Amino acid sequence: GQQLNQSPQSMFIQEGEDVSMNCTSSSIFNTWLWYKQDPGEGPVLLIALYKAGELTSNGRLTAQFGITRKDSFLNISASIPSDVGIYFCAGLRQNFVFGPGTRLSVLP
């Protein structure tokens, strides 16, 4: 079946550092989404990507839809403490598939 892999599973970074995480699959997707989830809350959509090769920014966040349509990455520049949380990628073809998440910790 369709599965998404996210790496790294978790990361600890210093405040101010840039962050890079990615999402890969053996299947092709038509849409890629990136969500952030804070403890005790529902996921919040950060960025949506609809075309292969598309590069989209949302403030300090930048995400790209891979050319092969089998991957996507998310970058966060100049991390701050409130970036802490779990970042999920999701792909859409005929239905939604979510990755297992990348847990980000930011050290002051």
Partner 1 sequence: DAGVIQSPRHEVTEMGQEVTLRCKPISGHDYLFWYRQTMMRGLELLIYFNNNVPIDDSGMPEDRFSAKMPNASFSTLKIQPSEPRDSAVYFCASSSLAGVITDTQYFGPGTRLTVL
Q: Which is nearer to partner 1, 58 or 105 (CB)?
A: 58
Q: Which is nearer to partner 1, 85 or 99 (CB)?
A: 99
CB distance 70 to 4 below 8 Å? no
Dihedral of the alpha carbons of 43, 100, 11, 87, in degrees to the nearest 10:
-20
Nearest distance, CB of residue 56 and partner 1, angstroms: 11
Segment (H or E) for 31: strand 31-37
Q: Which is nearer to partner 1, 39 or 108 (CB)?
A: 39
Binding site for partner 1 (CB under 8 A): 31, 33, 40-45, 48, 88, 90, 92, 95-96, 98-101
